[in-house]
Amino acid sequence: MLTTEYKTDIVSSPAITVICPVFNEEKHIERVLEFFTRALPANKELIVVDAGSTDQTLSIFRNWESKHRGIRLLHNPRRHVSFALNDAIKILAAFEKTGADIVGGPTRTAYSDPMQEAVAYAICTRFAIGNSRVHLHDYEGFTDSVTFGSWKKNIFNVTGLFDERLKRNQDDEFHYRAKSFGFSIYQSPDIKLYYYPRNSLKGLYRQYYEYGLYKPMVLKKVNSGLQWRHLVPSLFVVYLFTLFLAIAYPFWLLPLALYLFVNVLFMLRSRKTIAVMCRLFFVYMTIHVGYGLGFLSGLRKII
């Protein structure tokens, strides 16, 4: 069960509620808290949902909590983001009516070392993630999904809550489901969010493997969300498994040569430092192979 810690002077009837699931975020939580306390409006609350942090996250949070109103802590022993979102949603006040039912901003990236910079750049390119609009910083308009969205409370009465079976893609699945019920999703570049991506190939591989692993379940539930970008990485992985055919048919290496050429092209087009560009080459491959293998494994679970 989720447990809570309430401040006695908590803001009543907040105009805005921010939900922040965290786990071992000692490097970043203070920036979030600092921004929250400075930002308008004053009538707001921040719900931090901790999944059992073992670093200094809670210590930092409690220091801020003792000095500022409008902050509360929830403990989420089930750890996954979908549990945190669902339990926090239950205590939200009603959203002010807007033109859309769900709003959010594009994913802007931040980084602190060359590997993280390479990942941050790669996930904002079409070669890595296809035609997804969430990484287009200048796009404004209706879309299929948004990063770190805000939702009108009443839509959950129709759609239900986040699917707690999904360790990844819970936001995508919910947004696809919401659209299937006729709700609208709007992306505004005025909403500025910054995401610190993985800073190792191992962590990146695991992340995208899990994205791929849960995507078939998402698409089975809401097949209207299917896009070509969801299928290409798995087709590429299937092709890699057949490379032995090149022993008898050398032309079978042509698709691989084309892939490597495009990879190098996007690497050079980044105009990053040599240290970042060298990492970009492997970052692209890690994203594609990780997602592709995950998607193929996910297909076995739903067939």
Show pLDDT as tens, one digit a residue, over the chain (303 residues): 334 333 434 445 666 777 778 888 888 888 888 888 887 777 788 888 887 888 888 888 888 877 777 787 777 665 565 655 564 454 633 234 346 788 888 888 888 899 999 999 998 888 988 777 777 788 888 888 887 778 877 888 899 888 888 878 888 888 889 988 999 888 888 777 777 889 999 999 999 999 999 988 888 887 766 778 888 999 999 999 999 999 999 999 999 999 999 999 999 999 999 999 999 999 999 999 999 999 999 988 777
Q: How many domains does the chain have?
A: 1
Residue 296 lies in a domain: no
Residue 81 lies in a domain: yes
Range of the domain at 51: 1-93
Confidence (pLDDT) at 98: 46
Residue 26 lies in a domain: yes
**Of 198, 197, 166, residue with least CA distance to 298:** 166
**Count of C-beta atoms within a 10 Å radius of residue 31:** 13
Residue 245 lies in a domain: no
Residue 64 lies in a domain: yes
Residue 188 lies in a domain: no
Residue 266 lies in a domain: no
- Which CATH number characterizes residue 34's domain? 3.90.550.10
pTM above 0.75, yes or no: no
Burial group, residue 120, by CB count within 10 angstroms (0-12, 13-18, 19+): buried
Residue 76 lies in a domain: yes
CA atoms of 286 and 203, how far apart (whole Å): 10
